[in-house]
Chains A and B, each alone.
Chain A
Amino acid sequence: MSELLTTVDGRPLKAALASAERTKRIRAVLLVMPLFIFIFFSFLYPIALMLYRSVENPLIAQHMPETVAVLENWDGKEVPGEEAFAALAKDLVAARKSREIGKVATRLNFETPGLRSVITGSARSAGKWEPPFKEKFLDRRKQWGEVETWATIKRLSPTITSVNYLAAVDRQYNVDGEIVKIGSDYQIYVDLFMRTMWMSIVVTVACLVLGFPIAYMLASLPLRHSNLLMILVLLPFWTSLLVRTTSWIVLLQTQGVLNDLMVWSGIIDDAQRVQLIFNAQGTVIAMTQILLPFMVLPLYSVMKTIPPSYLRAAESLGAHRFLAFWRIYVPNTLPGVGAGCLLVFILAIGYYITPALVGGQDGQMISNMIAFHMQKSLNWGLAAALGGILLGGVIILYWLYNKLVGIDRLKLG
């Protein structure tokens, strides 16, 4: 074996090389760190916080400690005894004093509709009552004589809970603690998830069908011409989302440009103007136009790399023009098709602005429900759970995209 190779100052070459590479590695990491730390604190941590919101449940344990303690040993078969009612009275009075009773009532009401007034009403009276409490509670509100009410309190007493996720898929615990479907009148979220998926698929397919021909045209025209046409794709890409959504309202509403045009040209009567917007159809049309550039750009960049000689070779070997296109050209575009479809689908599934403005009743998507629970109903736990499920789906698709396409090959114009 040869002697150990060393540098001029006598260090083994291997060690010197390793230390030099370590320095380089540290330098590279140091360049990335500022952004990573920033993204960690203002993006990753907030998202984690939201996910935590979807399972945390401190309210009942914090503001009804006595009741929760008594109910720990309750078998859930029949209405508990005086001990539980005494604890309840104590908790309600204390919660009313600390002005937290409203929150408690709202939280219980999310789980079992109707409990809000039961809680606030009883809390108002409980301060004046003397023991024994059971009868007085039962007189005040008949719900206290129902196992369901007590089961709801018991179910919400753990500080970590799965009720939000269950609610997000239209499920809940029944009195026996089994997971059951909720009443059919309240089942909305599974349908909404399905509709969101369905609308995103329709938008993706529409983008592919519309995007493929023009990407092909852009890729095969000489650059001078294709650059001009490319502007028609890129200008919408750069135009404000709100502007484009406004445009669709202007175009499609019943008193809008398209209906006017149809009436004017005699296709339809003034009385039978078509409702094109403020429904699912309007959302799909507007979203297709808004997301189309995200399909055209990846398709174009893949098509640009397919040598035209392939098609000529196939034709000279006797294939018909159409057959050559289908058997030779289309399979070569598949990476672009995959990239475009995944990107459009990922963006479509989380869409909020456009459905909110042009969706009407049946064109709403899951993001709109999340925003509704965040801003209107203030059921943050449920909003976070719905967001968690949506996020899970998006992460899987993102992972797939990264695997198939590579995130570093994302093209922007």
Chain B
Amino acid sequence: MPVQTAAPRIEVRASAPVETISARTKVAVRNLDFFYGRVQALHQISIEIPERIVMAFIGPSGCGKSTFLRTLNRMNDVIPGTRVGGEVLIDDHDIYAPGTDVVDLRRRVGMVFQKSNPFPKSIFDNVAYGLRINRVTGSGSELEGRVEQALKDAALWNEVKDRLKTSALSLSGGQQQRLCIARALAIRPEVLLMDEPASALDPIATSKIEELIFDLKKQYTIVIVTHNMQQAARVSDRTAFFLLGKLIEVNATEKIFTAPNVKTTEDYITGRFG
């Protein structure tokens, strides 16, 4: 199957804020294979993700898009019996090279999961968790400042500022997911991976998350997996289409949804299968 690698140039969408988007490659994946035991889940994936854009991964269930996302911060390491081949370069450094500090990698590449997973602690402690374990902050007031900033970045501050000490589990589903985003943002990662972050949310909460993603790309490189093609079209600059563990096509989102190069992509986005 034809695999098109990313062009270094980015087409700025009409709706995007007028600013120069850096075309520097943040993440470069070369010939990535991935195995669950003997089952090969990813075949020879090669893709480049430029800095400070939103890259969406679309494709039917089981196509490997989540698996691929999880190779970018080595979250698959925790699943026994998995194996990786090929290279994942972040800032030109192979994260699967021996001697890579996985803990440090995950600080730089944050992740938001499909199902919100706040810790059974207070709202404040949830956001402070990453800061505390990484000893990012020295003083207590600095910690409070960072927590406040993260909650503001995640557009949650106004809703929770008066009850930071209450349980995170008392928040609504959409708020919990934004809390998880705040938690990931607090340690200021360079890349933010989002695995279907809005799939369990209602339309209002979803639109809040989408607005948030749009804001966040000014500072972060965002990779989002989504089932929802409209969502990919709304939030992303570039879109990659996966099928059966292979990367079929990657291009500017506009191109993918209006004039895809590959017939299979067209069949999928027009709803002929999947």
- Whether both chains belong to one complex is answered with no
- Chain B positions within 8 Å of A, measured between CB atoms, are none
